[in-house]
């Protein structure tokens, strides 16, 4: 079997385990390529151990669309890696927009029309063990080139997780140089201080890699805890260009943690990562769980149901003529439309269910907030009533104060007191005013209210010869 691996500038052909590099040209065989981690949306989350294994992908997709801030209106190619723990499933979801895939591979498709298999770069390092016959351990593979940088972790040969780390573009920015100029400095001077005329330039480079490996160390500590790894045994560092003195400077740093720090290298004249990818794609092109391609090879027409019917119809055409052929074409087109409509309906149903779940979730949150708001209002109302009660207690007059208040008010409005009947906190007054001062009884009542007396009432008893007699009642 011939497997073709496409890179940005070249292609590799693997036929009978003989790999040849050449310029990109039309070639028959299994067409493959790879995509970088920077084009992938990677979401890590947990699922309940109670979920049946055949439902894991369904529940993972629900989580991604409800919790992962994924745009419902766009289409995605999604692959999953499930790792089973004692109490839960850890899920690594790898998501790529179909529009991104179309943009990345549109030039290839002009020549090849299809791509059978597209791998993700973080998975490719798995083939290192097959190529070198190295015994798998708990290993970290660091990928560092001009476009992206990531750390890929494998536990005894099986992929665990991938994380992005400091990119070369950040160093170029700190040096105020282009990516190309930065690469030349790393190749020529690297971490060899003696080669730098500008010591500040060396300090920037040294600081970058110090922070770079500090983040790697933090990710290792995180992975050992989160993924229940015993420890990390080895770190393999890959870069398409040589960084002078990087291994000499940091090998002892990692040895203190009991980790081997090694250059990623193979016995090949080709780029080490490209060579690994050729082997990986050749071995895994039938593995749909790791295939990110949306550009399948068209199925040979004679192998399809429509093809079988066509051959049969062609035979009938010899018997019944053009009329039968045209009817077949109409049936075939309608079947394709039905299949297309069913797929469309299923997509709509899926999105409807996801939106319905989301709406129910927010309805519950809204109801909870409403109840909390009502409780707060009741608390505020209760506090207000207690405050009013305390204020009234504070300004409640003593009997002496009542007499002083009444005496002052009667003198103020030229009123006369005929009688005063007090029963506990209730007091009845009989008040007299002249005709010209009849409105002063109302003013007197208003002042008493302002002084803090409660339940004030007034009843006119008599109006005789210009004299008004009224009964005024109030509570302390």
- What is the residue whose two structure tokens read 């005894």? 156
Q: Which of 342, 361, 394 is the last residue of a domain?
A: 394
Structure tokens at 136: 């798998």
Cα–Cα distances (Å) from 299 to 108, 305, 306, 330, 389, in that order, read 19, 11, 11, 21, 86
Shared domain for 72 and 203, answered yes or no, is yes
pTM higher than the cut 0.85: no
Number of domains in the chain: 3
Q: CATH no. for residue 465?
A: 3.30.1360
Shared domain for 128 and 51, answered yes or no, is yes
Residue 22 CB neighbours (<10 A): 11
Handedness of CA 152, 155, 161, 163 (dihedral sign): negative
Shared domain for 209 and 258, answered yes or no, is yes
Residues 24 and 114: their CA atoms lie apart, in Å, by 14
Residues 40 and 34: their CA atoms lie apart, in Å, by 12
CB 418 within 8 A of CB 432: yes
Shared domain for 252 and 320, answered yes or no, is no
Say if 296 falls within a structural domain.
Answer: no
The 3-state DSSP composition of the chain as helix, strand, coil percent (nearest 5) reads 50, 25, 25
Shared domain for 135 and 271, answered yes or no, is yes
Instruction: Name which of 269, 280, 253 is nearest 191 in CA terms.
Output: 253
Instruction: Name which of 378, 385, 400 is nearest 476 in CA terms.
Output: 400
Say if 170 falls within a structural domain.
Answer: yes
Say if 295 falls within a structural domain.
Answer: no
Residues 239 and 252: their CA atoms lie apart, in Å, by 20
The count of residues in the chain is 476
pLDDT in tens, the chain (476 residues): 899 999 988 999 999 989 999 999 999 999 999 999 999 999 999 999 999 999 999 999 999 988 887 888 899 999 999 999 999 999 999 999 999 999 999 999 999 999 999 999 999 999 999 999 999 999 999 999 999 999 999 999 999 999 999 999 999 999 999 999 999 999 999 999 999 999 999 999 999 999 999 999 999 999 899 999 989 999 999 999 999 999 999 999 999 999 999 999 999 999 999 999 999 999 999 999 999 999 998 765 554 455 455 545 555 666 666 776 777 777 877 877 887 777 778 778 777 877 787 788 778 877 887 887 787 677 666 655 655 555 554 454 455 677 888 888 888 888 888 888 888 888 888 888 876 676 888 888 888 888 888 888 887 766 666 687 888 888 88
Shared domain for 241 and 343, answered yes or no, is no
Shared domain for 229 and 92, answered yes or no, is yes
Shared domain for 282 and 380, answered yes or no, is no
Say if 38 falls within a structural domain.
Answer: yes
Shared domain for 272 and 389, answered yes or no, is no
Shared domain for 374 and 274, answered yes or no, is no
Shared domain for 184 and 103, answered yes or no, is yes
Say if 44 falls within a structural domain.
Answer: yes
Structure tokens at 93: 């979801």
Q: Which of 394, 428, 455 is the last residue of a domain?
A: 394
Q: CATH no. for residue 77?
A: 3.30.420.40
Structure tokens at 74: 């766009």
Domain that holds residue 383: 301-394
Angle at 243 between CA 237 and CA 247, to 5 degrees: 55
Q: Which of 370, 394, 418 is the last residue of a domain?
A: 394
* Residue 419 CB contacts under 8 Å (≥ 6 apart), including other chains: 428, 429, 430
- What is the residue whose two structure tokens read 């405050």? 387
Residues 431 and 408: their CA atoms lie apart, in Å, by 14
- What is the residue whose two structure tokens read 């060899």? 192
Shared domain for 341 and 420, answered yes or no, is no
How many secondary structure helices (H) and strands (E) does the chain include?
A: 13, 17
DSSP string, 448-459: HHHTT-EEEEEE
């Amino acid at each position: 079997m011939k497997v073709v691996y496409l890179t940005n500038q070249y292609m590799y052909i693997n036929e009978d385990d003989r790999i040849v590099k050449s310029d990109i040209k039309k070639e028959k065989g299994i067409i493959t390529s790879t995509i970088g981690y920077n084009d992938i949306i990677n979401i890590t989350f947990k699922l309940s151990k109670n979920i049946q294994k055949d439902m894991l992908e369904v529940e993972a997709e629900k989580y991604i669309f409800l919790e992962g801030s994924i745009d419902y209106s766009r289409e995605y190619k999604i692959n999953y890696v499930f790792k089973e723990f004692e109490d839960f499933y850890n899920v690594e979801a790898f998501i790529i927009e179909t529009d991104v895939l179309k943009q990345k591979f549109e030039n290839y498709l002009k020549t090849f029309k299809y791509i059978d298999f597209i791998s993700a770069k973080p998975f490719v390092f798995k083939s290192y063990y097959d190529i070198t016959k190295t015994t798998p351990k708990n290993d970290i593979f660091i990928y560092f080139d001009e476009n992206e940088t990531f750390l890929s972790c494998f536990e005894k040969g099986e992929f665990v997780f991938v994380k992005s780390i400091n990119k070369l573009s950040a160093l170029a920015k700190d040096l105020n140089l282009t990516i190309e100029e930065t690469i030349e400095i790393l190749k020529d001077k690297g971490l060899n201080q003696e080669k730098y005329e500008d010591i500040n330039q060396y300090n920037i480079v040294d600081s970058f890699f110090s922070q770079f490996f500090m983040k790697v160390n933090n990710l290792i500590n995180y992975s050992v805890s989160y993924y229940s790894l015993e420890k990390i045994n080895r770190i393999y560092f890959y870069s398409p260009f040589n960084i002078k003195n990087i291994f000499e400077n940091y090998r002892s740093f990692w040895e203190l943690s009991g980790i081997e720090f090694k250059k990623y290298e193979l016995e090949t004249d080709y780029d080490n990562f490209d060579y690994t990818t050729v082997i990986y794609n050749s071995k895994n092109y039938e593995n749909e769980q790791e295939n990110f391609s949306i550009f399948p090879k068209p199925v040979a027409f004679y192998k399809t149901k429509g093809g079988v019917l066509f051959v049969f119809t062609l035979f009938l055409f010899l018997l019944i003529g053009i009329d039968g052929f045209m009817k077949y074409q109409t049936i075939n087109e309608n079947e394709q439309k039905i299949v297309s409509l069913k797929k469309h309906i299923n997509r709509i149903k899926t999105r409807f269910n996801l939106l319905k779940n989301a709406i129910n979730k927010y309805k519950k949150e809204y109801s909870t907030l409403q109840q909390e708001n009502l409780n707060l209002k009741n608390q505020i109302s209760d506090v207000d009533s207690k405050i009013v009660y305390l204020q009234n207690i504070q300004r409640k007059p003593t009997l002496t104060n009542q007499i002083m208040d009444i005496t002052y008010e009667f003198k103020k409005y030229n009123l006369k007191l005929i009688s005063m009947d007090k029963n506990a906190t209730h007091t009845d007054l009989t008040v007299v005013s002249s005709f010209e001062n009849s409105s002063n009884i109302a003013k007197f009542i208003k002042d008493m209210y302002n002084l803090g007396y409660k339940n004030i009432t007034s009843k006119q008893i008599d109006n005789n010869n210009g004299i008004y007699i009224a009964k005024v009642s109030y509570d302390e």
